[in-house]
Chains A and B, each alone.
Chain A
Amino acid sequence: MNEVYSINGPVIKVKNAKNFKIMEKVFVGKQKLLGEVISINDDHTVIQVYESTTGLMRGEKVYNSGEAISAVLGPGLLGNIFDGIQRPLYSIFEANGAYIKPGTNVDCLDMKKTWNIKMKVKTGDYIRFGQIFAVVQETSLIEHRLLVPKNVIGEVIMAKPDGHYSLEDVVVQVKDKNDTIHNLSLYQKWPIKEPRPIAKRLPLTIPLVSGQRVIDTLFPIAKGGSAAVPGGFGTGKTMMQHQFAKWCDADIIVYIGCGERGNEMTQTLDEFTELIDPKSNKPLIERTVLIANTSNMPVAAREASIYTGITIAEYYRDMGYHVALMADSTSRWAEALREISGRLEEMPAEEGFPAYLPSRISQFYERAGYVNTLSDSSGSVSIVGAISPQGADFSEPVTQNTKRFVRAFWALDKELAYARHYAAINWNLSYSEYIGDLSKWYNKNISTDFLESRQRFITILAEENKLMEIVKLIGKDVLPDDQKLVLEIARVIRVGYLQQNAFHKDDTFVPLEKQLRMMKLILYLEKSASNILKEGKAFSLLQKSNIFEKIIKVKYDIPNDNLDMFEEYYKIIDESLSQIR
């Protein structure tokens, strides 16, 4: 029998063991702590333990399971909140009360609950891995499509009628060409570190619309794409992720709180239960899976949380859904890798991170994509990963390596956050490489004006940037009037457009149509004002007219459901400028 030989925090070693497999799930000691085999050599096997090892003794037994650490996939995921190894926190709460105790053994999904399923196959059908064999209304919002598990291909020899079944009930039997019988129930397991297969990757041509102006307009992310949000503490990473989770037009949200605050997860849970999705009129929680492995929870499970999350995301993608995954924060995940690596006394690369950090990061982001699924539909997983760079210095390894693998980069800025300009996305440092691929979509579905206006905005902001160099040296007063106008319009763009108040009922989410109209209104103001200057009128007159302030406040003053009001504002601009004439 295998016994614990050494213990160093979450890392334990077993001597002279031969029967372990790499990445195998094991149970450690009397408490049956969950662990994973992470390395094997002829002398010893190294296991990382997902729970606290306090009190563990040398000589306690280590039990094999024969299988890899896996996610349990089936109805009951939505609306639920799990820890990093997919233990439902409500069940743990019922078992242990307020605190999470090691060795808590609870089912990942509710095995007793019955689900009303509708069969999609019948006896005699030929089915294979990835196909839909039954459906069930998981929440009032989402139909859960049960997929044929891995390695199953053959003829249906038994299919239960529609009706109520619990997760473990066998509802379909399949006979393969070797006459082996496979039992299909309402759930399946999938190793979390193994990407789920797809039929084909598709190009990314549709934006994941978030209703956040600076993202949708300037730095959009495609459905199936990936984005990184780096920023020092308090710059708004979590808020940004929450805004995305609340408002983006994905069907399913997987939100991973990886090594972050407990209160934030509580808040997410509360808010998402209360918040009603405007499109479906249902609470947002009905399309959301929460994973909370907070900073004080065991560090190895923090490492697992990212994989648990992405596996669940892929599972819903394979049903034909658009899934958006938020990981807050990938830095904590990388630090978990570093901590485990340090305990293994591996040779560190940059800043103590293991040499395999870049490959782990790339493997994670590679799991995003827009695909044809094995069930002949299409779905996507988009990833938005927060990064918490040490000292807010973007040259550190996690930021740098992530940059290589994502195509949208939303750099949060301390100075903007200090001035409470939120979202504090620095428009000079951020970028999106998706814009070219998405242009067709914007032109067709919104208007060709959209990208033109966007370009004009970018030009004005760049001009402002240049002018500010001068202003910093000699002040604004000496600039000629047309340049003063550039600065003023840039201010309108910054304060009236890029800045967005997440706590304002209309401003928190802004449809693309309104984004377009706001841009056009601001550009109309620019054009009209510049005409006034051409007529020889002084800029100070323009300023006194108060029109810039009026346009800045449009974001609050025009409700999202009354876009006709924009027409009035064109008149207001004309009127107030005509008074100058």
Chain B
Amino acid sequence: MNLQYIGLKEINGPLIFLDNVKGIGFDEMVEIRLENGSVRHGRVVEITGDLAAILVFEGTRDLSLTNTVIKFNGKPMEIGLSKNVLGRVFNGIGSPIDDLGPVYVDEYRDINGEPLNPVSRLYPKNYINTGISSIDGLTTLIRGQKLPIFSGSGLPHNDLAVQIVKQAKLTGKDADKFAVIFAAMGVTNDVANYFRRSFEEAGVLDNVVMFLNLSNDPIIERLLTPRCALTTAEYLAYKHNMHILVVMTDMTAYCEALREFSSSKGEIPGRKGYPGYLYSDLASLFERAGIIKNAKGSVTQIPILTMPNDDITHPIPDLTGYITEGQIVLDRDLHRQGVYPPIGVLPSLSRLMKDGIGAGYTRKDHQPLMNQIFASYAKVMDARSLASVIGEDELSTTDKSYIQFGKYFEKHFISQGMINREIRETLDLGWKLLSIFPREELDRTDDKILDEFYNHEVAVSQFELNDDLIIKELSNEEN
């Protein structure tokens, strides 16, 4: 049923309106052919009687009421897929842009996907070793999880994403079953190239699919980019049993495109002008992460977003956090102090880790270590704010020990550069740092665990605390 219409009734922002149309479906894809032969794509977003509103992804520039031919495709937007997409580069709506010609198509899939039935999901439990202490130790990434990076402009979220991809390569028999899908929305060419180069260096380029909607590409097209990427991910994961890591950046640009679409449609805006359905819309992307029964693959998502003004309560990070299974929050202060990766561990969280760590997965002391680090590091913050009022010298010995711990924790644990750490190293390091404290301060931890892992002497020698006045005071008091 390929219906064609000539001419438009109205053009408004990214929307065009067509009158006297019959037999078209809601959400259907259309092709818009201009006089000069170029083709744009659109989607039916509202039908009122004979009037259809169509969203044009590439924008309405150069369109007039008379110079277009509209063809209705009779179905929602689809993308052609096969294993040959691996190693290829596409634009934001899934057309190849790497001069390697069209992709062989094994099957077409609707990019909107369908909601996964909760009873067909498998609860994710296998952890992915990223080699980064603050992630593996404190916000463990699980295969099939959606774990975003909340960043700010100028923070090294791209480096972190690349480091995760490089270091998270599966080893052993699953290694060739690993692929990365990279979806860029509104990022610069430099950023896209940086990712490309890094994948190349990591030797994974043949197992990468890139979907690029760069900052100078049509804005509304961004609404399709993550959907193309996730459809590809699902295809590879569930049809070819691959483990797919989807990196999507920058979700803020995606949300802005959605806002633009919504306002041009005249919808009642919600907070900060974003449409009321931003939550549902983001959920329709993020919920596509997971593992399903009867398939061996998995889809893990690392969406990256830049928080406007570093404000975590802004609707974009806020709604994202309500959907994703935790978040990794980058901290500008740590970044200023030269800490890399500057992960603010307190607001960061991985909700799926509890079932993927501990004996049999990582190590039995993982959970208690993590609880204690969070509790102790939270007190570091209290001690610091007190110090900022009364001065560090006036602090009690205990508070001083927290200041001390905070310093060493950030310097040795959080800050690790591009080094790849084994989980065992991360956990041991954590205990060494906690052992800076007198044992009584570790009030979250079982005695049994402390007997095995607490060792003040090692901490003293490792961090050369002997010369340190504070610790001397402390150990004197202990005797």
Contact = CB atoms under 8 A, between A and B. Distances in A.
Interface in A41-93: 52-59, 81, 89-90, 92-93
A421 B378 CA distance: 10
Interface stretch (B23-31, B80-88, B426-434): B23-31
A7 B295 CA distance: 36
Given A261-B323, A339-B277, A472-B386, A420 B375 contact: yes
Contacts of B378: 415, 418-420
Interface stretch (A112-120, A189-197, A265-273, A426-434): A265-273
B40 interface: no
Contact of B386 (A7, A292, A475): A475
A234 B114 contact: no
B46 A262 contact: no
A482 to B, nearest CB: 17
Contact of B443 (A233, A352, A552): A552
A270 B318 contact: no
A472 B277 contact: no
B269 interface: yes
Interface in B339-386: 346-347, 349, 351-352, 354, 367, 371, 374-375, 378-379, 385-386
A455 to B, nearest CB: 25
Contacts of B61: none
A538 interface: no
B451 interface: no
Nearest to B118: A265
A58 B268 contact: no
A297 interface: yes
A108 to B, nearest CB: 16
A491 B246 CA distance: 44
Contact of B116 (A98, A259, A269, A418): A98
Interface in B141-177: 144
A53 B386 contact: no
A445 interface: no
Given A55-B26, A339-B276, A99 B318 contact: no
Contact of A294 (B114, B118, B276, B390): B118
A97 B120 contact: yes
A476 B276 contact: no
B336 interface: no
A388 B322 contact: yes
A232 B124 CA distance: 24
A295 B323 contact: yes
B200 interface: no
Contacts of B351: 234
Contact of B49 (A57, A58, A269, A495): A58
Interface of B is mostly: mixed
B123 A297 contact: no
B399 interface: yes
Interface in A469-510: 471-477, 495, 503
Interface in A411-425: 414-415, 418-421
B266 to A, nearest CB: 9
Given A81-B119, A261-B287, A234 B321 contact: yes
Interface string B263-295: 000011111000011011001100110101111
B112 interface: yes
Contacts of A92: 117
Given A57-B26, A474-B390, A98 B46 contact: no
Contacts of A472: 385-386, 389
B47 interface: yes
Contacts of A53: 26-27
A351 interface: yes
A295 B269 CA distance: 20
A400 B188 CA distance: 43
Contacts of B318: 232-233, 390-392
A332 interface: yes
Contacts of A111: none
Nearest to B121: A266
Contact of B123 (A57, A233, A267, A420): A267
B75 interface: yes
A477 B391 CA distance: 13
A178 interface: no
Which interface residue of B47, B386, B396 has the most chain A CB atoms within 10 A? B47
Interface in B18-51: 22-28, 46-50
A553 interface: yes
Contacts of B267: 342
B202 interface: no
A391 B394 CA distance: 36
Nearest to B354: A503
Which interface residue of B292, B313, B327 has the most chain A CB atoms within 10 A? B313
B101 interface: no
Interface in A509-540: none
B439 to A, nearest CB: 9
A392 to B, nearest CB: 7
B221 interface: no
A233 B23 contact: no
Contacts of B321: 232-234
Contacts of B287: 261-262, 294-296
A21 B22 CA distance: 28
Which interface residue of B119, B284, B315, B378 has the most chain A CB atoms within 10 A? B119
A356 to B, nearest CB: 15
A546 interface: yes
A366 interface: no
Contacts of B440: 543, 546, 549
Nearest to B389: A473
B119 A475 contact: no
B118 A352 contact: no
A60 B113 CA distance: 24
A562 interface: no
Contact of A93 (B117, B279, B389): B117
B15 to A, nearest CB: 13
Nearest to B278: A335
A263 interface: yes
Nearest to A257: B118
Interface string A1-39: 000011111000101000000000000000000000000
A143 B292 CA distance: 35
Nearest to B445: A553
B456 interface: no
Nearest to A55: B25
A418 B294 CA distance: 37
B322 to A, nearest CB: 5
A327 to B, nearest CB: 15
B276 A420 contact: no
Contacts of B269: 352
B384 to A, nearest CB: 12
Interface string B101-138: 00000000000111111111111100000000000000
A89 B22 contact: no
A299 B278 CA distance: 12
Contacts of A342: 267-268, 276-277
Contacts of A262: 115-116, 118, 121, 287, 290
A418 B347 contact: yes
A298 B280 CA distance: 9
A155 to B, nearest CB: 45
A295 B291 CA distance: 17
Contact of B375 (A13, A299, A390, A419): A419
22 contacts: A6-B46, A53-B26, A56-B25, A98-B116, A98-B238, A99-B115, A259-B280, A262-B118, A262-B121, A266-B123, A270-B123, A296-B283, A338-B276, A339-B276, A342-B267, A352-B270, A391-B315, A414-B347, A475-B399, A476-B396, A546-B440, A553-B446
Given A263-B124, A296-B284, A477-B396, 13 more contacts: A56-B26, A98-B117, A98-B238, A98-B292, A257-B118, A263-B352, A294-B115, A335-B276, A348-B268, A420-B374, A475-B395, A495-B444, A553-B443
3 closest residue pairs by CB, A with B: A419-B378, A295-B283, A391-B313
